[in-house]
Amino acid sequence: MLTLLSSATSPFARKARIVLAEKKVEFQLVEASPWVADTPVAAANPLCKVPVLTLDDGTHLFDSRVIVDYVDSVSPVARLIPEAARQRVAVRRWEALADGICDALVLAVLEGRRKAAQRNTDWITRQRAKIDAGVAEMARELEDKPWCNGEGYTLADIATGCALGYIDLRYSELDWRDRYPNLAKLAEKLGKRPAFAETAPPAGA
């Protein structure tokens, strides 16, 4: 059976878990922090990051974009990445935007955890500017459409929902629901899907 090394707060791992669930692919979830000394993540991924999907033959797939690509292609159930080139690249662009917001958030959070004397507040401000601009771009592109791309639910919505959920966890001051009601509406709709509800990051983590 497939095994996913995951951490409950990682938006990248959440994206992979949601795609596995939506595609109805069975897998074993293994909770593993990449930050502890004896982490199993290091042996599976030389970059020591989650998520990692281990296949039946022992191959370790990383990062989350490779994992979702693989999972979407192995099962015909509910395609999440369109096949047509323009549509596919539009969905992957949404994913790059959402993942980029999460990357900036991770960097800002790690910097914020440093001792005050070592902390570079300009760096945090720089990362927050990327997050603010990224979310504004999401809202602008979503307009008043029901889904991020095309006529239905895709990886674009999943990646966007995971990024917004991670902002709630780590940067709630952004207040994106009030600023961008179209994103709030999308997030509310996504939150009703079992795959989203079951993978919501633990509050206060």
Ligand X SMILES: N[C@@H](CCC(=O)N[C@@H](CS)C(=O)NCC(=O)O)C(=O)O
**Site size for ligand X, by CB under 6 A?**
13
Q: Which of residues 90-109 bind ligand X (CB under 6 A)?
A: 99, 106
Question: Does residue 139 bind ligand X (CB under 6 A)?
Answer: no
- Phi, psi for 82 (deg, rounded to 5): -60, 155
Considering only 40, 60, 63, 128, the residue that binds ligand X (CB under 6 A) is 63
Question: Does residue 34 bind ligand X (CB under 6 A)?
Answer: yes
Which one of 59-67, 70-78, 87-95, 173-181 is the stretch in contact with ligand X (CB under 6 A)? 59-67
Q: Exposed, middle or buried by CB within 10 Å (0-12, 13-18, 19+), for 147? A: middle
* Token output for 114: 């440093």
d(CA 98, CA 110): 19
Question: Does residue 10 bind ligand X (CB under 6 A)?
Answer: yes
Report the DSSP beta bridge partners of residue 29. 4
d(CA 97, CA 48): 23
Q: Which of residues 146-205 bind ligand X (CB under 6 A)?
A: none
d(CA 94, CA 96): 5
Q: Which residue is nearest to ligand X (CB)?
A: 63
d(CA 175, CA 184): 10
Which one of 63-71, 87-95, 121-129, 169-177 is the stretch in contact with ligand X (CB under 6 A)? 63-71
Considering only 8, 29, 30, 48, the residue that binds ligand X (CB under 6 A) is 48
Point out which residues bind ligand X (CB under 6 A): 7, 10, 12, 34, 48-51, 63-65, 99, 106
